[in-house]
Structure 1
Amino acid sequence: MILFTKLFLAHLIGDFLVQPNKWVLHKEKNKASSKYLYFHVLIHFAATMLLLWDLSYWKIAIVILVSHYLIDLIKLYVNPLFKNKSIPFFIDQVLHILILYCCAYFDNLWMHTLEFFELLDWNLITAAVFVSFPAAIIMSKLLEQMSKQLEMDHKSLPNAGKYIGIIERLFVLAFIILDQWGAIGLLITAKSVFRFNDLKESNSRKLTEYILIGTLISFGIAIITGIVYINL
């Protein structure tokens, strides 16, 4: 485990701590001809060797250097094909981490992967997935008739309410699992403070009631899910 942790730390240093935005822009513009692309992969190689501090791992460092170069190079050329630039970014990061995982456990990769999946808390994963998008869809169906009676606020970000609800339910689920029920009250208070000005300016009783009902349903779903998980 410590080997993977060191490799991951070297990746974080190389990709985020010592890569200026100037390098990123230069790579996007010049692609394979960018000198910063080669500086970048050499920094990864150096960070890996420094953190491992063992010359016997030089083969792992070389694999990481070559794979990082190829993955970054491919990303530079496919990046313009995506309207949402976060998609190639996350794909790039997942591929890098998979390479690190394979390097860390190359001598027993298959068995370690099986053990990893066997140790996963599938009840927790199911609970977390449920309070995210499935719960958001359930809420939208429950509140569908009410939402039709409200004037849409075009100034708000698209789907902002949905993502706020998902994040708050994940927080509530985590607080329940950690037995921190008081933190749920603080979360409700914080949300109420942020919503206060919106409700005050709109002066709409329907909107106030809609937000209150939606908040109670959202927290209720997360609380019930947390209680079910604990009892399982």
Structure 2
Amino acid sequence: MIETLAALLCAHAMADFVLQTGWMVARKRHLGVMLLHGALVLLTAQAATGQVAALPLLILALLHLLIDCVKTYGRFTGLAAFLADQAAHLAALAAIAFWAPDLWATGLWPALLPEPVATALPHIFAVAAGAILAIRAGAFAIQLLMQGHALSDNPGDDGLPGGGATIGYLERALIFLLVLAGQIAGIGFLVAAKSILRFGTISGDRKATEYVIIGTLFSFGWALLIALATQSLLAALPPLEISAPRP
């Protein structure tokens, strides 16, 4: 079941945050675009599990479309709607994995790939899903959060185009890697470094200071939460057996 969940989670992260473009998001109320997104959900799930005609994957795609339709046509927006939407998708993934736990084991990949590669693939799926959710999904969550704290004179306006977003991507990626590497203490140095580098640009401006603190704390917290959840998923997967090198 855990291998199936890891594969489906990676497929979901790819379909929602990598393959779903800004063009698709802006036009999602059009039925054709919504169906295109549903097709991508189905294709990524099929590719990840190695299943082509599995009924549970079709049901998963339909559930995904139903959840997205409620959010899109109900005009639910904001961070709360985003989090509720993703929670519903995760619940659907868990339900399908519980209902059809052998999707991964009976798929193409365990049969076609060498055993060490097939055993490692769910771990790769878990790390890839965690990275996408921490870095890419985190960017959307922070953007939605900061909409309620917009500044008339945004502290990032004088910087490089897209510089703030790039910094956010990098800091969440570093936090994700530090947690998986077991170097959580390194996050403290990252916080200190960003605080020092930001001090000169916002010193004396209380609104800008609070804006940066809110965004930074949320970004760090999001990445830390996803990284810890990824660790838990990796721990639940069958352990990797790495042969010792011959003398």
TM-score range (shorter-chain normalised) is 0.3 to 0.5
Task: Kindly name which structure, 1 or 2, has the bigger radius of gyration based on alpha carbons.
Answer: 1
- Give TM-score, length-normalised by structure 2: 0.45
Between 1 and 2, higher relative CO (CA 8 Å, sep ≥ 6) is seen in 2
More helix by share: 1
